[in-house]
Amino acid sequence: MGRIILGIYYRLPVFLQDVAISLYGLVLYASRYSGVYKRYLKLFSENKHDNLEKEKRIQNKRFLRLLRYAATGSPFYREFYRDIPLQEIRSVEDIGKLPILSKAMLKENLDRIYTIPRGRSLRFSTGGTGGIPLVVRKRPRDVQQRMAYLDAYKLTFGFRNNKMKAARFFGKRILGDALKSQVFWRNNYPLRQRLYSTYHLTQENLPFYVRDLNRFKPQAIDGFVSAIYIIAKYMEENNITPDFRPKAVFTTSETVLPYHRETIERVFGCPLSDQYASNEGAPFIIQCSQGSYHEAIDTGVFEHIPTEAGIKLLVTGFDTYGTPLIRYDIGDMVMLEEGMTCPCGSVHPVIKGIAGREAEFLETGKGRLSQVQLSVLVSQLSDTVSQMQFRQRKDGSLDILCILTEPAREEISSKIIYSAMKQFLGEETVFRLHFTETIDRAASGKYQLIVKDGELGSRILGK
């Protein structure tokens, strides 16, 4: 049924697509911003998170409440904890006595993990890095509480969601394949949002995006950092100054690399604030006004597990009552910042950043390289390359996709890039350079700096 409706939507003229999106926006507004939303928005907005004892007390209370609920309401957890003396779990300090929930276990037992019927839930889908659909159920009040927390965080930057204009760059396919105009955006009027397609960000289309952003004058930009960076870099390269200054640029779902942040903040003249969560229901990691990443311990429990690849993250999400996530191995890595206190005043633990998925590393002649390390190389080549992607095959060799800043100088650019790659990757690493006008995104619409063989299906070059 969903495909039929989408097929009809894609054939509508632009103004009727705006109407359809706006009607859907009203449905989302009713489910996400009604009920307990306003009460929690006031509560979260007033909490400065400056009392560690109070924050830990909140965390313990919410953890134990979720644990008891899952152990009685979920057939899976009843069996999973059958041999665990739950009466001995008295605080977050005891969480290590519980078994770890892997992603494979979640997918295989989803129907038994649910605690509420489909008809009384709001459903959220995630494709994951493997592209396997995963649908979690959530109670409406949990979604409303989660949205209130997110909006309270944005208020610290002066942006009031649904009351101020926002330009959004996410992965939804809002445009069909047969475009009749250069209108690469659609409007959600009730929520004051303009939704920009992340699938049409080519060099020839970018002038239309920039002109419309200057007309729209959003008070916030949010979405995938890779898409926002493409816009910002184009503006900088063409000496275009925005006619507006947002309160902030809010990013999520992708790893923010240093060159992303530097370019976006320089072009738009405002802070970039990154936020981590997931459709499954991971607790929030938010970047405060001082630039620090805080683990929001009033939204969940974060456990740091040392591995050969780095620090793996286990999460327990306090708003996952419909599909409880307790000690969930979400597959993400973090970089720790031991003993740091933040001048913003929050006592929530500070980490250095989110390193991304375990798979987001290249194996090279110089050892394992992370996205952050590769970003240094990309930054050094910014005069030659506007965007890059590293695709590693099963034999360890690399296909390196490059969008050149000056395609007419391909021969000269090729020599510059080849020399930099040899030095950075090591003489033993076999790689091939490919010059292209566009770089494919994952099914979710996210841009990936590193792609392992098979992650984009048949799109790996040479297959």
> Would you state the pLDDT for residue 356?
65
Return the ∠ at Cα 165 (arms to 161 and 167), rounded to 5°. 100
List, in sequence order, every residue forming a beta bridge with 252; answer none if it has no partner.
275
Q: What is the DSSP letter of 283?
A: P
Q: Contact, 431 vs 398, CB < 8 A?
A: yes
Three-class secondary structure of residue 347 per DSSP: coil
Report residue 289: phi and psi, to 5°. Answer: -65, -15
* Maximum separation of any 2 CA atoms in the chain, in Å: 70
Q: Determine how many CB atoms are found less than 10 A away from the CB of residue 288.
A: 21
The length of the chain is 463
Classify burial at 4, counting beta carbons within 10 Å of its beta carbon; exposed 0-12, middle 13-18, buried 19 or more.
exposed
DSSP string, 231-272: HHHHHHHTTPPPS---SEEEEESSPPPHHHHHHHHHHHSS-E
> Would you state the pLDDT for residue 460?
35
> Would you state the pLDDT for residue 130?
39
Return the H-helix or E-strand segment holding 408. Answer: none
> Would you state the pLDDT for residue 458?
31
Q: What is the DSSP letter of 129?
A: T
Three-class secondary structure of residue 402 per DSSP: strand
> How many angstroms separate the CA atoms of 453 and 462, rounded?
11
DSSP string, 155-196: HTTT--TTTS-EEEEES---S-SS--SS--EEEETTTTEEEE
> How many angstroms separate the CA atoms of 326 and 98, rounded?
9
Q: Determine how many CB atoms are found less than 10 A away from the CB of residue 106.
A: 19
Radius of gyration of the CA atoms of the chain, in A? 23
> How many angstroms separate the CA atoms of 199 and 175, rounded?
9
Three-class secondary structure of residue 439 per DSSP: coil
The pTM of this model reads 0.82
> How many angstroms separate the CA atoms of 395 and 201, rounded?
32
Q: Domain limits of the chain?
A: 2-357, 361-459
DSSP string, 40-96: HHHHHHH-----HHHHHHHHHHHHHHHHHHHHHH-HHHHHHTTTS-GGG--SGGGGG
Q: Determine how many CB atoms are found less than 10 A away from the CB of residue 97.
A: 13
> Would you state the pLDDT for residue 171?
78
Q: Contact, 94 vs 118, CB < 8 A?
A: no
Return the ∠ at Cα 75 (arms to 59 and 104), rounded to 5°. 80
> Would you state the pLDDT for residue 441?
73
> Would you state the pLDDT for residue 357?
58
- Closest to 368 measured CA to CA, from 355, 354, 352: 355
Q: Contact, 235 vs 213, CB < 8 A?
A: no
Q: Tell me the CB-side half-sphere exposure of residue 52, using CA atoms within 13 A.
A: 6
Instruction: For the chain, 463 residues long, give each residue's pLDDT as a single digit of tens.
Output: 466 888 899 899 999 999 999 999 999 999 999 999 999 999 999 999 999 999 999 999 999 999 999 999 999 999 999 999 999 999 999 999 999 999 889 989 999 999 999 999 999 877 544 344 578 999 999 999 999 999 999 999 999 999 999 999 987 889 987 788 899 999 999 999 999 998 888 889 999 999 999 999 999 999 989 889 999 999 999 999 999 999 999 998 888 888 899 999 999 999 999 999 888 889 999 999 999 999 999 999 999 999 887 899 999 999 999 999 999 999 888 889 877 889 999 999 999 988 765 556 788 877 777 676 677 688 778 788 888 899 999 898 999 999 998 888 899 999 999 988 988 888 888 999 999 988 887 766 667 888 887 554 333 333 3
> Would you state the pLDDT for residue 127?
52
- CATH T-level fold of 2-357: Rossmann fold (3.40.50)
CATH superfamily of 361-459: ANL, C-terminal domain (3.30.300.30)
- Which pair of structure tokens corresponds to residue 343? 């001048």
Three-class secondary structure of residue 100 per DSSP: coil
First to last CA, the chain: 34
Sign of CA dihedral 36, 39, 41, 47: negative
Three-class secondary structure of residue 328 per DSSP: strand
Q: Contact, 218 vs 210, CB < 8 A?
A: no
Three-class secondary structure of residue 56 per DSSP: helix
Q: Contact, 280 vs 325, CB < 8 A?
A: yes
- At position 460, the amino acid (one-letter code) is I
Q: From the centroid of its chain, how far is CA 131?
A: 16
